[in-house]
Amino acid sequence: MIENQSDNIDNKENDISDQDNVPEGSQISDDPVIDNNESSSQKTEDINTEDLKNTISNNDARLEQLEKEHETLKNQYVRISADFDNFRKRQSRDQDDLKIQLVSKTITSILPIVDNFERARQQLKPESEEAQALHRSYQGLYKQLVEVLKQQGVAPMRVVGQQFDPNLHEAVLREPSEEFKEDFIVEELQRGYHLEGKVLRHALVKVSMGPGKQNSQEEVEKDKVEEDIDSEEKTSEDV
């Protein structure tokens, strides 16, 4: 009986010694559930990182596309703005030109009346008191008419003594002059007018041929007469 107890004790000691001899790595068994969770978590992190990269890449591409669209729209706006500004300026010029054309047509029909006023003023020489009163009334009407023309932008040309310019003047006569050089205006036959800096009506003028033209013409005629005389003398001698 005592021997059996001692054998049991020896067996227990042997078991304990065997447990002590087991390697450390073999004491903890691997848990498959934990390994699966860790692997799944790693895969999820990898997927999230890839999705984030794709999202950033897509956002960059979208941003670049939006910047290009913005630049295109900006250029279109600048062009449209410039076109509208040019259109507005063109409309303003067209309106101004139309206004000038209408005013020019109206004033052109009034200018002959102004010419008649000026001719009458040059011819009238009031002597009696009644004629002078009538002349003053006439002068008042003429001044009112001239003032209205000034308000519309009409200005008369001053041409006598100026060099002839076909853009402003219309030459009706040419004559020799000792006072004026050639192609200078000697006399104004009909007054010309400007409207807003543009020619409303050309001035009818008499233009100088310059000094010596008449003398040279006489010399030519004299030489011709002398040639005729010489020819007649030669003919008589031959006879």
- What pLDDT is stored for residue 157 in this prediction? 92
Asked whether residue 8 is assigned to any structural domain, the reply reads: no
Asked whether residue 144 is assigned to any structural domain, the reply reads: yes
Distances from the Cα of 97 to the Cα of 63, 104, 108, 197, angstroms: 50, 10, 16, 12
Closest of 189, 202, 137, 134 to residue 160, by C-alpha? 189
pLDDT band at 229 (very low <50, low <70, confident <90, very high): low
- What pLDDT is stored for residue 6 in this prediction? 47
Q: Is the pLDDT of residue 238 over 80?
A: no
Asked whether residue 207 is assigned to any structural domain, the reply reads: yes
Q: Is the pLDDT of residue 33 over 80?
A: no
Asked whether residue 172 is assigned to any structural domain, the reply reads: yes
Q: Is the pLDDT of residue 1 over 50?
A: no
- What pLDDT is stored for residue 133 in this prediction? 81
Cα four-point dihedral sign 150, 154, 159, 160: negative
Asked whether residue 237 is assigned to any structural domain, the reply reads: no
Give me the domain span that covers residue 204: 111-121+132-215
Helices (H) then strands (E): counts for the chain: 4, 6
pLDDT, tens digit (0-9, with 9 covering 90-100), for 168-200: 999 999 999 888 889 999 999 999 999 888 899
Asked whether residue 85 is assigned to any structural domain, the reply reads: no
Asked whether residue 16 is assigned to any structural domain, the reply reads: no
Q: Output the domain CATH number for residue 200.
A: 2.30.22.10
Choose between 142 and 30: higher pLDDT. 142
Q: Is the pTM of this model over 0.75?
A: no
Asked whether residue 180 is assigned to any structural domain, the reply reads: yes
- What pLDDT is stored for residue 37 in this prediction? 60
pLDDT, tens digit (0-9, with 9 covering 90-100), for 40-96: 666 676 667 877 778 888 888 888 888 888 889 989 999 998 999 999 999 888 888
User: Of 66-75, 116-125, 146-155, 216-225, where does mean pLDDT reach its minimum?
Assistant: 216-225
Domain count, the chain: 1
- What pLDDT is stored for residue 179 in this prediction? 87
CB burial class (10 A; 0-12, 13-18, 19+) of residue 154?
Answer: buried
**Pairwise CA distance, residues 110 & 200, whole Å:** 12
- What pLDDT is stored for residue 166 in this prediction? 92
HSE (side-chain half, CA atoms, 13 Å) at 202: 12
